[in-house]
Amino acid sequence: MTHPKQLALPLPSRAAQGREDFYVTTANALAVAQIEGWQIWPSKKLVLSGPGGAGKTHLAHVWAGLTGARIVAANSLAQADIPDLAQGPVCVEDVEAIAGDRACEEALFHLHNLLMEQGYYLLLTARRPPAHWGLSLPDLQSRMMAAQAVQLHQPDDDLLSALIAKLFADRQIVPAHDVIPFLTRQMPRSYRAAQEIVDRLDAEALGRPKGVSRPLAVQVVETLAQETSDAQN
* pLDDT (tens digit per residue) in 81-136: 999 999 999 999 999 999 999 999 999 999 999 999 999 999 999 999 999 999 99
Query: Given a cut of 60, is residue 14 above it in pLDDT?
Result: no
Note the pLDDT of residue 191: 83
Q: d(Cα 154, Cα 123) in Å, to the nearest integer?
A: 21
DSSP 3-state assignment of 125? strand
Note the pLDDT of residue 22: 65
Q: What is the residue type of 4?
A: P
When the pLDDT of each residue in the chain is averaged and rounded to a whole number, the result is: 87
Task: Give the single-character DSSP code of 206.
Answer: T
Q: State whether CATH 3.40.50.300 applies to domain 28-151.
A: yes
pLDDT digits (tens, 9 = 90+) for 52-79: 878 899 899 999 999 999 999 999 999 9
In Å, how far are 54, 60, 95 from 99, measured between CA atoms? Answer: 22, 21, 8
CATH architecture of residue range(s) 157-232: Orthogonal Bundle (1.10)
When mean pLDDT is compared over 26-30, 50-54, 59-63, 190-194, the highest value belongs to 59-63
Note the pLDDT of residue 163: 86
DSSP 3-state assignment of 51? coil
Query: Given a cut of 60, is residue 15 above it in pLDDT?
Result: no
Note the pLDDT of residue 5: 29
Does the reported pTM lie above 0.85? no
- Nearest-CA neighbor of 203 among 6, 5, 9, 2? 9
Confidence of residue 20 (pLDDT cuts 50, 70, 90): low
Q: Where are the domains of the chain?
A: 28-151, 157-232
Q: Count CB neighbours of 232 within 10 A.
A: 6
When mean pLDDT is compared over 3-7, 120-124, 207-211, the highest value belongs to 120-124
Confidence of residue 11 (pLDDT cuts 50, 70, 90): very low
Average pLDDT rounded to a whole number, residues 196-213: 88
Query: Higher model confidence: residue 138 or residue 20?
Result: 138
